[in-house]
Structure 1
Amino acid sequence: MTTQLIRVGLSVQQNFPICKSFPDKVYEVTYANMQDLSIVLKNRKYEEIYDELESNNNYNIKMIDGALLQLLYTYKTKKLIRHRLAFFPSPYLESFQNEPEIYEDDEIYADILEKNIMAVPIRFDYDPNAFQEIDHPKSHLTLGQFKNCRIPVSSPITPSLFICFILRNFYNTAFLKFSNELTFQHTLFDETITNLEKKLLHIAIF
């Protein structure tokens, strides 16, 4: 996926995936240069969080507009025990929006030139050890760094589903343009949502 995003010009900087092994048959699928991510949970301005991640190259992919993508998976043997998938839009889109003539001839920038766009970070988490029905679903979506925003998701998210979700919703013009070149293989994890959580507004994956 990283190679394909580079090929179509959507990734301008990247750290390729690596695998780290730990005791008890635990291993992480992460990225080179991955550092402490506690910064994203601290009560600090979003610009400061973004700047620290960006300056330390603490991401998988840096998109054409500066948005950062992070994909972290933890397994024990062959069982997924945790994941963290994050999208950190650049808080500095003014550089694109104030000088649109630089970018308007390239349609892949079309989705980021609107002046009413607001940067909202998005995170998909899977953590069954922290499970509390409804209050902390095993798999959930957090919007805008809100501490108690945990929208139930029917299952953990695979890398291809996450990347396609980001491209389809935030880079739709480019996604449609390069649809024949972005040939991701889609797989699904088993469902983890409870029947009670299904009665809430939630995200379903089939």
Structure 2
Amino acid sequence: MSSFVPLGVNERFRDTALDPDKRYEEVYLTGLENSHYNFVLRDYSYFQFSCDVRDEYRFAYLPNPFLSPTAAGELGDLQDYVREGAMTLDEYLHRISELRGGQYPPPIRYENSPRQYKEYVHPQSHLHIGHHGENRWPLNRELTVTAFTTMIAKHFYGRAWGADKHIDQLSGLNSLEATFAAEKALCRLVSVARFSADQRAQFFFS
């Protein structure tokens, strides 16, 4: 855990994330180096939650691109070496560049921005999937922090989600599914002024 409150602007992370020439690994490592996250998971993926004003906010899940079990373990060891002064940052980044896993989940970013809404072009509530920043997948609800985090847990951590401890022995149902459904009900619908009937005729997440 790094921060219990919404994150402010970190200029180094922002500039790296917005640079089209930067690889995703560089964006991920910049956030990690600068502790620009709210919390880190055991696999060294992390979540960011930020808010400009009440209805303008951003949530992000940045998966570990060095995802193999051996690489994830070595990543933790290398971070310890840097903290202890046994390895320079340049040496760390060079070693990390050699650890890249073959597959990892795509980074997922959620944004809710009534001020930037433009019909068909910039949905108020939308997801960015992957490192490409121009794709916007519209939602007709304003996600909560819990809804976003739970969605990532369900779709990217299926083994933990389906663990026996979450299964009711009598009904055989997963208690997390009910929690997820209840949280969706708390997510407000986007105003019809910013989600028109024409937009509803197209595909969107609901």
- Would you call these one fold, judging by a TM-score over 0.5? yes
How far apart are 1:150 and its partner, in Å? 0.5
Structure with greater proportional helix content: 2
TM-score normalised by structure 2 residue count:
0.68
How far apart are 1:116 and its partner, in Å? 6.4
Tell me if structure 2 keeps the 8 A contact 1:152–1:197: no
Cα RMSD over matched residues? 2.7
How far apart are 1:95 and its partner, in Å? 4.0
| 2:46 match | 68
Aligned equivalents of 1:97, 1:88: Cα separation in 2: 16
- Trace 1:157-196 onto structure 2 (pairs within 5 A): 157-177=143-163, 179=166, 186=183, 187-192=186-191, 193-196=195-198
Relative to structure 1, the CA distance from residue 151 to residue 98 in structure 2 (aligned partners, 3 Å threshold; closer, same or farther) is closer
How far apart are 1:191 and its partner, in Å? 2.2
Structure with greater proportional strand content: 1
| 2:18 match | 41
Give 5+ residue unaligned stretches, structure 2: 74-100, 168-174
How far apart are 1:74 and its partner, in Å? 3.7
Task: Read off the aligned partner of 1:189 and give its amino acid letter.
Answer: R
Matched-pair identity in %: 23
Relative to structure 1, the CA distance from residue 119 to residue 195 in structure 2 (aligned partners, 3 Å threshold; closer, same or farther) is same
After TM superposition, the structure 1 stretch with the greater mean CA deviation from structure 2, 124-133 or 181-190, is 181-190
The answer as to 2:68 corresponding to 1:94 is: yes
- Per-residue CA deviation, residues 161-206 of structure 1 (Å, 9 max, x unaligned), is 01110100001111232548977872222324332222222100xx
Aligned equivalents of 1:169, 1:46: Cα separation in 2: 20
Relative to structure 1, the CA distance from residue 179 to residue 15 in structure 2 (aligned partners, 3 Å threshold; closer, same or farther) is farther
The answer as to 2:202 corresponding to 1:200 is: yes
Aligned equivalents of 2:18, 2:47: Cα separation in 1: 16
TM-score normalised by structure 1 residue count:
0.68
Task: Read off the aligned partner of 1:191 and give its amino acid letter.
Answer: V
Rg larger in 1 or in 2?
2
SS at match of 1:87: strand
| 2:129 match | 143
